[in-house]
Structure 1
C-alpha cells in the first residue's frame, strides 16, 4: 500500500459548530473547465462555457454569454430558514445600463431564488467607476469585477438559484459577464461569530474619529445622525475605516444602515469595498419612498439595513464606502450609521506564513492533495475551529494509523510541522524541517 499522509474530513466534537455552514462552494480553483459547471443548467452560453480572465478561470466571459442564465437546485439534509449567496461577478467590456446615447439600454444582472428576484445590478460603461477599472479580458476596454452577497429567506430542504443577465444587443463579443468563487452558506449550530466593531448607533455618542472621509462635513441628521448625507456625500465621495488585530476567520460579515437622500436613480449605486476590492453594491430609487425626510424636496429612501459577507483571512482589513452617483450632493447624496463587523470561521484555515500571514486557504471537506487547488508551498500555520478536529491517516484510502489535530497552531515547528504538511501531500525534507521552510 502506498505510504504518505492523507488528509480526511473534519470531526465534529459535540455541537459547537461554527455559525455558518457551507452548503455549496464552487469555482474557487485557479483554473477549471466546463466540467465544473456540469451540474448547472446553462442557457445562452456558447463556445467553451468557461474562460480565462486575469489569469483565473471564470464561468462565462467574453464570447461565451451575454443574455443568458445558469440555474441549479440545491438540497440539504436539514431544515433551512435562510441562505447567504456569495460570488464574484465580472461585467466585461461595454456593459451599459440606464439612459445612454438617447435610449434606455436595459442591461441588468439578476439573482433569483425559487423563481423570485432577490438582487439586481446594472453597470454603466460610461460612468467613472467603470471607466477607471482595468481591462481583465475580452476587448481592450475596462471591465468591472464586483462581489454579490445577499441573504434570502428559505424554508424547507431544497431551493433553486438562478443567475441571469439581460444585455442590450445580446452580443457576447461586445458585452458579457462571468462569475467565480461561488458560495452558499446558512446558519447551523452554535453561533461562534465574534463582533469586532459596533459603532455609529448612538446619537449622543456618535463617534466618527475612526473614519477618514472626503465628505464636506462628517455628520448630518436624517433625522437621526448619519455619517455623510445631504450636501456632504455626493458623487465620488468616500469614507474608510481600518480594522486591525482581527481574530482567525474565513468570512467577514458587515452590517450597515444606509440612507439614500433625494433623487437617487436606477443607475446610481453605493459601492462597498474591503481591501480595495468591491464586496457589495446597492441601488435605490428615490420614488420607492413616499416621504421627504431630509435633504432637498425629493422623497428619500432611509433605514436600509444591508448585511453582506466576503471571504477574508488576514488580521487587518480596510472597509470603504464609495458614492457612485452622477449629480451634485444637493441633488443626490448618501449617508450611513449602525456599522458593525463580525468574523466567522466555519472551516479550518491553513496559512503560508506563521502568525496568520501570507496566503490562506479555507476548507471543509477532504483534500488529499493541495496541488489540486494550486497550493505548493509548505504550511506554517493552521486554524482549527472550536469543537472540530482533523483526522490524518498514514496510508492512502484513509487507512492505517491516524492522528488527530484539534488545536490551532499559528507557528508550526518540528514534528507537527512535518506531519501537517505531509497530511496535505507537501513534502518537507529534513533540511527544510531544520530551517522550518
Structure 2
C-alpha cells in the first residue's frame, strides 16, 4: 500500500446538518480528453469529441457537435428528493435567430431529465449582452459563455440527464460545449438560513433597497412586480446587495419570474452573482397561452426560478439583467417573491490563514487536489458543526487515521503537514517551517 496520508473522507455525524452530496463532478480539469466522455452516450459528436479553446478543454465544441446530444444515467445508493445541476455552457459561432411561425425556434439548447424537458435556451450572438463577446475558438465570430443552474425534482435512486441542441448540421458553423459539470443532491436536515425574503406582500412591496436603471418602477401582472410592461426592456437591470452573510459555501436564490408579451426563445433574463453569470433563462420553455398583462400577447407569469451558486464571501451582489431586443412596450420582464438563503453543507479549504486566499468547498471523498489544478498549500480549514473529517494513512480507507472535528483557520505543525499530504499537496520541511 502507498504510505503517507492520501485519502480524506467526510463523515456525517447523525445527519446533524444538511449536506449537498456530490453525485458527479466532471470536465473540471483545464485539460481533459475523450476518456472523460466515455460514460456518456454521444450522438453526432465527431472526431476527438473534445475541443481545446485557448488553453482549456470543453466537451464538444467547434467541428465536434452541432445538432447532437450527450446522455448519461446517474445512480446513487440512497433515495433522492431532487438534484441540483449546474455547468458552464459555451455557444460557439453562428447561433443566429430564425423566425418560424412568430417564434424563434431555430437555434435551441435543451436539457431533459428522465425524458422531461426542464430547460431551454435560445441564442442570437448579436444580442446586446453577448454581441461584444470575445472569440474563444472556432470561427472568428463572437462566442457566448453562460451558466446553467437547475433545481430538478427527482425520486428513486437513478435518473437520466440529456443535453441536446437544435442548430443545424455543420459544427464548423455553429456548435456548443460544456465544462465544470456538477450534480449535487441534498441529504439530512435542512440547515440553510434565509438571509433575505422580500417582495411577497402587495401591501408592503418595498423596493427601496434595489438599485435599478428603470427607477424601481412597480407594475401589476396581476400581482405587483418589480419591472414589467413598458418599464423593464432591453438592458434593464435590478441589483440587490447583501452584506454580513454568515459563513457558507452556497447561495440559494429563488424568485418568481414574469415574462411579459412577445419575448422569444432567443431572449432571456440573466442572473449575475458578484459580476459573474450564475444562471440564464428564457421564457419559451413555459409556452404560456393566456394574456395576463401588458399588450395583447401571451405571457409567462409566476414562473419560479431556483438556482444554487457556490459562494464563500460575506457579501454578495445579485443582479438581474433583461436580455431582450425589442422595446419594453413589446418585450419586458419583471419579478417578485425574491429570496436568498445560505447553507454550510461542506468543509471549506483556504490557502491563507484567517479564511483568506483561494477557497474550495467539497463534499464526499477528496483524494487529490492536485488533479484538479490545485497546488497551493492549505493554511486553513472550515469544518461545519456535525461533520467530521477523517484522514487515512493508506489507500482504500486502510491504516492509521486522524479525525478533524473543528475548524482551524491557522494550520501549523503536524496538522498542517498531515492535511496537505492527505490531499497530495507538496509541503516539504522548509515550507513547513515557514507554514507555506
TM-score by length of 2: 0.91
Are residue 89 (structure 1) and residue 104 (structure 2) matched? no
Alpha-carbon separation, structure 1, partners of 2:11 and 2:356: 26
Q: Is the 8 A contact 1:88 1:179 kept in 2?
A: yes
Quick one: structure 1 residues 433 and 66, their matched pair in 2 at CA, closer, same or farther if it must change by over 3 Å? same
Maintained 8 Å contact 2:104/2:264: no
Classify the secondary structure of the residue corresponding to 2:6. Answer: strand
> SS of the counterpart of 2:418?
helix
Residue of structure 2 equivalent to 1:390: 389
| Aligned twin of 2:245 | 246
Query: What's the offset of the Cα at 1:71?
Result: 0.7
Q: Which consecutive unaligned segments of at least 5 residues does structure 2 have?
A: none
- Aligned mates of 2:45, 2:286 — CA distance in 1: 36
Cα deviation for residue 72 of structure 1 reads 0.8
- The CA distance in 2 between the partners of 1:380 and 1:431, in whole Å, is 15
Q: Determine if the alignment matches structure 1 residue 380 to structure 2 residue 379.
A: yes
* TM-score of the superposed pair, with normalisation by structure 1: 0.91
Other-structure match for 2:9: 9
- Does the C-alpha gap of structure 1 residues 394 and 103 become closer, same or farther in structure 2, counting only changes over 3 Å? closer
**Aligned match of 2:153:** 153
Q: Are residue 230 (structure 1) and residue 229 (structure 2) matched?
A: yes
Deviations 1:99-120 (A, max 9, x none): 39x9967111111122222211
**CA-to-aligned-CA distance 1:16-64 (integer Å, 9 cap, x gap):** 2424322222112222111111111111111111122253221111111
Q: Secondary structure at the match of 1:5?
A: coil
Quickly say closer, same or farther: Cα 1:314–1:214, change in 2 above 3 A. same
Q: Deviations over 1:206-225 (max 9, x none)?
A: 33233211114433333333
For residues 365 and 286 of structure 1, the distance between their equivalents in structure 2, rounded to whole angstroms, comes to 34
CA deviations over 1:324-359 (Å, ceiling 9, x no partner): 111111222111111111223333221222333332
Which residue does 2:338 correspond to in 1?
339
| Contact 2:3/2:393 (8 A) holds in 1 | yes
Tell me the CA shift for residue 8 of structure 1: 2.6
State the 1:396 CA deviation: 5.7
Pairing of 1:33-44 with structure 2 (within 5 A): 33-44=33-44
For residue 106 of structure 2, what is the aligned residue in structure 1? 106
Change (3 A) 1:368 1:113: closer
Secondary structure at 1:163 match in 2? strand
| 1:66 Cα deviation after fit | 0.9
SS state at 2:365 partner: coil
Is the contact between residue 44 and residue 69 of structure 1 (CA under 8 Å) also seen in structure 2? yes
Partner SS, residue 128 of structure 1: coil
Q: Is the 8 A contact 2:105 2:265 kept in 1?
A: no
CA distance in 1, matches of 2:93, 2:14: 51
Distance 2:410 2:321 in 1: 38
The answer (yes or no) to whether the contact 2:7–2:393 under 8 Å persists in 1 is no
Shifted more, 356-365 versus 52-61: the winner is 356-365
Q: What is the CA RMSD across the aligned residues, in angstroms?
A: 2.5
- Residues 265-344 of structure 1 aligned to structure 2 (within 5 Å): 265-285=264-284, 288-344=287-343
Measured after TM superposition, the shift of residue 431 of structure 1 is 4.3
- Output the CA distance in 1 between the equivalents of 2:172 and 2:387: 48
TM-superposed CA distance for 1:3, in Å, is 4.3
Distance 1:161 1:105, change over 3 A: closer
Matched, 1:349 2:339: no
Structure 1 Cα separation of the partners of residues 210 and 387 of structure 2: 37
